[in-house]
Structure 1
């Protein structure tokens, strides 16, 4: 029997060496072969190739099948991709409840995309109960994993008083953290907050941000 890991690595080498054409088609065949031998990463990657038509004809129906396989094999990214398809009704009916459950599965594996989406769904009550504390918890976990979107969302939640009274110092601290993590919108939000905060409040927020960096590391 062929080694699925070797097939997976060979597919990646071909993908890295080519912008398309025959090499990419060969990579898709190798990726499928590895996926069919129950390689979780290959199942997820082949699902993506099918979803976007890379090296193989685009097929959302087949992409759904391979994402399902990756999720069942325990890959967090596969669970997220499967949940995303159910959330948006790609090759299946829209099902926010199932999507939220799949995102929770992915979040258990520290998938930051899932944590970002879960926070939004919990904040809005989409696919389940509205839970502001849970939303903040998901985003805090994501931010500590280095995701700038989650840090930014925490800034918005604190500034807007979603689930708690507005806290501009905490909002400022999270926007600083988001900026450090590469979020391009965070500087705009910092600029909005500065005129309505005192120098002492900004200093306190900067101290909070430094403490966040320590806790994240």
Structure 2
């Protein structure tokens, strides 16, 4: 039988290492060391830190540390989005909406806008309302459009 105390401290060490990689990555990024930031964020993302995957998506989208690559950005955003990072959900929705790095797919874009909207992300709420207003990726529905637009604006 595994020793629960050893397991606890092993988990604590792993959490500390992930947090350290994020902090070091943020410091490297802030000083313009995008290559260093990429290494730290990659380590953290591969260890399961969703915010690190989001940062890698932004870096690939903007060409920081490596050349811009929308397909790779979408891959990192998806990893973070599936782990609940609302900004990654929004960015992935935008990529599907525009066909950047992924095939244009209004239904998939709507899915990710809805995921973010349901978590209270106002830009996702607004975009979901527009989709219902225009019937893009969902059937036109003025009531749903109004509901999501009101939520987005706080009215």
Q: TM-score range by the shorter chain?
A: 0.7 to 0.9
Q: Which residue is equivalent to 1:81?
A: 55
Matched, 1:126 2:91: no
Distance 1:164 1:75 in 2: 32
Q: Which residue is equivalent to 2:30?
A: 52
2:115 to 127, 141, 144: 141
Distance 1:165 1:137 in 2: 13
Q: Which residue is equivalent to 2:77?
A: 103
Q: Where does structure 1 differ by over 6 angstroms across 4 or more consecutive aligned residues? A: none
Structure 1 range deviating more: 88-97 or 151-160: 151-160
Partners of 2:132 and 2:138 within 8 A in 1: yes
Q: If you compute each CA radius of gyration, which structure gives the higher value, 1 or 2?
A: 1
Alpha-carbon deviation of 1:168?
3.0
Q: Which residue is equivalent to 2:4?
A: none
Alpha-carbon deviation of 1:90?
0.7
5+ unaligned residues in a row in structure 1: which ranges? 7-33, 181-186, 188-217
Higher relative contact order (CA 8 A, sep 6+): 2
Partners of 1:38 and 1:73 within 8 A in 2: no
2:145 to 163, 167, 171: 171
- 2:136 match: secondary structure: coil
Q: After superposition, give the CA deviation of every residue in 1:91-125 in whole Å (9 maximum; x if it has no partner).
A: 21111111111111111110001100010011111
5+ unaligned residues in a row in structure 2: which ranges? 1-8
Alpha-carbon deviation of 1:146?
2.1
Q: Which residue is equivalent to 1:158?
A: 132
Alpha-carbon deviation of 1:178?
1.4
Matched, 1:41 2:15: no
Relative to structure 1, the CA distance from residue 160 to residue 49 in structure 2 (aligned partners, 3 Å threshold; closer, same or farther) is farther
RMSD: 2.5
Partners of 1:87 and 1:94 within 8 A in 2: yes
Partners of 1:103 and 1:114 within 8 A in 2: yes
Alpha-carbon deviation of 1:139?
1.2
Number of equivalent positions: 147
Q: Which residue is equivalent to 1:71?
A: 45
